[in-house]
C-alpha cells in the first residue's frame, strides 16, 4: 500500500493506492480533520501513521457531520430503547439546549473546551442534576460514534462536570402534614393525597394503582405499573420507572380504612350511575375513568391556596414533596433506611441515604442516646470516669 501527496484547490491530500474487497485497484483521497491539509508538510507528517492504520485496518476516515446531525440520529435511535417519558426528557435537552449551543460544530472539530464552556453557561439555566443528564447524552452519542468507527476518541470523557449543591426539596413536619390532610378531606380526590403521604408512591404509580393490587385484609398495596405520557400526547399505562420500583407497600391501618371506604363509595357509584365505567383503578374520576395528572394537580394547588390563606407561612410544596415528606418522617421516627428504601422503590439503600442525608445527624444523636455513654453500652460511672485516664505510650 503506497501513498503520495497531491494538491487540490488550496488544500493538500494524501492519495493512497489500494485494493477493494474484489481485488480491484482504487485510489482513495484522504483529507485532514478540517477537510484537507493546509500545508504540504502537514500531510507528509500525517501520511506514515495513516498508511499504518490503513494496513492494520484501524484507520477512521474523517467525517464532515456536525454534532447536531449526530445528535438527531442518536435521538431517533434511542427512542425504542427507553421509556417514552425518558425519551421526551432527552429530546427536550437535545433540542432546547445542546443543539443550539454545539449543534453547528463539526464533530471532528468538537473539543473538550467547547463542552466545558457549554456546561458552565448551562448553570445559569439548569440544575447540576440536569447538566449531568446532558453529559450522559453527549457522552453516549460520542461513544457510539467511536464504536462505529466515525471518530477516534470521545472528547466528552475529558470534561469535568460542574459541581454544585443538590436540588433542595421542601417537606412538611407532622403538624403541617396534618393541616394539609385535614384540608383535603372535602376534596374529590382526598384519598389520592392520603395514599401519597402515607405510602411515598410516585404520582404516576398512584394513578395506576389497581384494586386487584390492594389487599385490604393484609393491608398491602403492590406497585406494578405507572400512568405516564404516551406518544399521542395523552397518558397510558406502562411499566414502573425501574425493576426496583415494583414493590409491595405495607399500609397504615388508617390508610387501609380510607381505602375500604373508597371502595364502598365506588361500588355505590357504579350502581347509581349508568354511565359509570369502572376502570378498576383505586384513584379514578367520578365516572370511573383514569384521572389525569393535570386534574389532580389542579386540586392539589387549590388546596394549598386555601391553606395559605389561613396559614401564610405554610410551605409551598410540590406533589412529589409528599413522597419526600413520607420518607423524612419515617427516618426521623427511627425507621431503618432499608425499609424506607423498599417503600420508595429506590434501587439501593445508598440512593435513599444520599437523598435524605440531611436527616441523618438527628438519627445519629438518637442512636447514641439509646446505646449509652460509650460504645460498649456502659455508663460513665461504670467506666470510672472520676479517675484520670491512663495514657498509653
Q: CA–CA separation, 5 vs 254, rounded Å?
A: 83
* Nearest residue to 153 via CA among 161, 143, 162, 163: 143
Q: How many residues does the chain have?
A: 393
Please check whether residues 139 and 237 belong to one and the same domain.
Answer: no
Return the exposure string of 348-375: e unless at least 16 CB atoms fall within 10 Å of the residue's CB, then b: eeeebbebbeebeeebeeeeeeeeeeee
Q: CA–CA separation, 312 vs 309, rounded Å?
A: 6
The answer to whether residue 345 is domain-embedded is: no
The answer to whether residue 349 is domain-embedded is: no
| CB proximity list for 202: less than 8 A, separation 6 or greater | 226, 241, 245, 320, 323, 345
Q: CA–CA separation, 4 vs 14, rounded Å?
A: 6
Please check whether residues 152 and 178 belong to one and the same domain.
Answer: no
Grid cell locating 60: 477512521
pLDDT tens digits for 11-23? 887 788 776 666 6
* Nearest residue to 194 via CA among 280, 254, 265: 254
CA distances from 200 to 95, 125, 280, 296 (A): 33, 29, 21, 16
The answer to whether residue 167 is domain-embedded is: no
pLDDT tens digits for 127-142? 888 899 999 999 999 9
Answer yes or no: are the C-beta atoms of 152 and 33 closer than 8 Å: no
- Taking residues 173-199, what's their average pLDDT? 96
Please check whether residues 138 and 189 belong to one and the same domain.
Answer: no
Please check whether residues 80 and 28 belong to one and the same domain.
Answer: no
Please check whether residues 312 and 188 belong to one and the same domain.
Answer: yes
Cβ neighbour number for residue 53 with a 10 Å cutoff:
13
Please check whether residues 49 and 71 belong to one and the same domain.
Answer: no
Please check whether residues 238 and 125 belong to one and the same domain.
Answer: no
The answer to whether residue 150 is domain-embedded is: yes
Please check whether residues 286 and 194 belong to one and the same domain.
Answer: yes
Provide the whole-model pTM.
Answer: 0.63
CA distances from 58 to 53, 151, 374 (A): 5, 11, 64
Grid cell locating 32: 485532514
Q: Which pLDDT score, from 0 to 100, does residue 51 have?
A: 76
Q: Which pLDDT score, from 0 to 100, does residue 229 have?
A: 60
- Taking residues 360-371, what's their average pLDDT? 61
The answer to whether residue 148 is domain-embedded is: yes
Q: Which pLDDT score, from 0 to 100, does residue 389 have?
A: 39
Q: What are phi and psi of 317, to 5 degrees?
A: -85, 165
- Taking CB atoms within 8 Å and a gap of at least 24, the contacts of 91-100 are 93/130, 93/133, 93/134, 93/137, 94/137, 97/122, 97/125, 97/126, 97/134, 98/71, 98/134, 98/137, 98/138, 99/68, 99/71, 99/72
Please check whether residues 81 and 205 belong to one and the same domain.
Answer: no
User: Which of 321, 351, 371 represents a domain boundary (last residue)?
Assistant: 321
The answer to whether residue 104 is domain-embedded is: yes
Answer yes or no: are the C-beta atoms of 209 and 281 closer than 8 Å: yes
Answer yes or no: are the C-beta atoms of 281 and 237 closer than 8 Å: no
CATH number at 93 reads 1.10.150.130
Alpha helices, H only, the chain: 40-55, 67-78, 84-93, 99-102, 112-122, 128-147, 174-184, 190-199, 203-206, 253-272, 293-310, 320-332, 337-344, 349-355, 360-371
Whether residue 233 has pLDDT greater than 60: no
What band does 202 get if pLDDT is binned at 50, 70 and 90?
very high
Count of CA atoms in the C-beta half-sphere (13 A) of 275: 3
Please check whether residues 101 and 233 belong to one and the same domain.
Answer: no
Question: What's the domain range around 43?
Answer: 2-55
Dihedral class, residue 389 (left if φ above 0, else alpha if ψ from -120 to 50, else beta): beta
Angle CA 86–338–216, to nearest 5: 80
Whether residue 230 has pLDDT greater than 70: no
Grid cell locating 117: 464552556
Please check whether residues 51 and 71 belong to one and the same domain.
Answer: no
DSSP state of 348: S
Number of domains the chain is built from: 3
The answer to whether residue 370 is domain-embedded is: no
- Taking residues 65-74, what's their average pLDDT? 92
Mean pLDDT across the chain: 84
Please check whether residues 178 and 309 belong to one and the same domain.
Answer: yes
User: Which of 267, 291, 321 represents a domain boundary (last residue)?
Assistant: 321
Q: Which pLDDT score, from 0 to 100, does residue 4 have?
A: 82
Whether residue 219 has pLDDT greater than 70: yes
The answer to whether residue 240 is domain-embedded is: yes
What band does 385 get if pLDDT is binned at 50, 70 and 90?
very low
Q: Which pLDDT score, from 0 to 100, does residue 20 have?
A: 65
Residue 122 burial (10 A CB sphere; 0-12, 13-18, 19+):
buried
pLDDT tens digits for 284-308? 999 999 999 999 999 999 999 999 9
Q: Which pLDDT score, from 0 to 100, does residue 362 have?
A: 61
Amino acid at each position: 500500500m503506497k501513498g503520495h501527496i497531491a494538491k487540490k484547490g488550496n488544500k493538500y491530500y494524501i492519495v493512497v493506492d489500494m485494493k477493494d474487497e474484489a481485488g480491484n485497484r482504487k485510489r482513495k483521497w484522504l483529507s485532514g480533520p478540517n477537510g484537507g491539509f493546509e500545508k504540504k508538510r502537514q500531510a507528509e507528517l500525517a501520511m506514515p501513521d495513516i498508511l499504518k492504520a490503513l494496513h492494520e485496518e484501524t484507520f477512521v476516515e474523517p467525517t464532515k457531520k456536525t454534532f447536531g446531525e449526530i445528535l438527531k440520529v442518536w435521538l431517533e435511535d434511542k427512542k425504542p430503547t427507553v421509556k417514552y417519558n425518558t425519551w421526551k426528557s432527552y429530546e427536550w435537552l437535545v433540542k432546547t439546549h445542546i443543539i443550539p449551543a454545539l449543534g453547528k460544530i463539526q464533530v471532528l472539530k468538537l473539543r473538550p473546551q467547547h463542552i466545558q464552556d457549554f456546561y458552565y453557561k448551562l448553570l445559569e439555566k439548569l440544575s447540576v442534576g440536569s447538566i449531568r443528564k446532558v453529559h450522559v447524552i453527549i457522552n453516549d452519542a460520542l461513544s457510539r460514534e467511536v464504536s462505529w468507527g466515525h471518530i477516534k476518541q470521545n472528547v466528552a470523557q475529558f470534561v469535568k462536570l460542574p459541581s454544585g449543591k443538590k436540588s433542595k426539596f421542601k417537606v412538611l413536619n407532622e403538624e403541617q402534614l396534618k393541616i394539609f390532610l385535614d384540608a383535603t378531606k372535602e376534596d374529590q380526590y382526598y384519598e389520592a393525597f392520603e395514599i401519597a403521604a402515607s405510602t411515598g408512591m410516585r404520582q404516576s404509580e398512584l394513578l395506576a394503582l389497581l384494586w386487584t393490587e390492594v389487599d385490604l385484609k393484609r393491608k398491602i398495596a403492590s406497585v406494578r405499573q405507572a400512568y405516564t405520557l404516551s406518544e399521542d400526547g395523552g397518558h397510558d399505562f406502562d411499566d414502573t420507572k425501574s425493576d426496583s420500583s415494583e414493590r409491595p407497600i405495607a399500609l397504615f391501618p388508617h390508610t387501609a380504612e380510607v381505602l375500604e371506604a373508597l371502595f364502598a363509595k365506588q361500588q355505590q357509584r357504579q350502581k347509581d350511575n349508568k354511565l359509570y365505567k369502572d376502570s378498576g383503578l383505586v384513584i379514578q374520576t367520578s365516572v370511573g375513568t383514569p384521572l389525569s395528572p393535570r386534574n389532580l394537580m389542579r386540586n392539589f394547588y387549590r388546596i394549598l391556596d386555601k391553606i395559605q390563606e389561613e396559614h401564610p407561612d405554610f410551605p409551598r410544596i410540590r406533589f412529589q414533596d409528599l413522597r419526600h415528606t413520607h420518607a423524612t418522617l419515617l427516618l426521623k421516627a427511627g425507621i431503618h433506611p432499608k425499609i424506607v428504601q423498599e417503600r420508595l422503590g429506590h434501587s439501593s439503600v445508598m440512593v435513599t441515604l444520599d437523598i435524605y442525608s440531611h436527616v441523618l445527624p438527628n438519627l445519629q444523636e438518637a442512636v447514641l442516646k439509646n446505646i449509652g455513654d460509650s460504645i460498649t453500652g456502659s455508663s460513665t460511672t461504670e467506666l470510672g470516669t472520676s479517675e484520670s485516664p491512663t495514657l498509653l505510650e
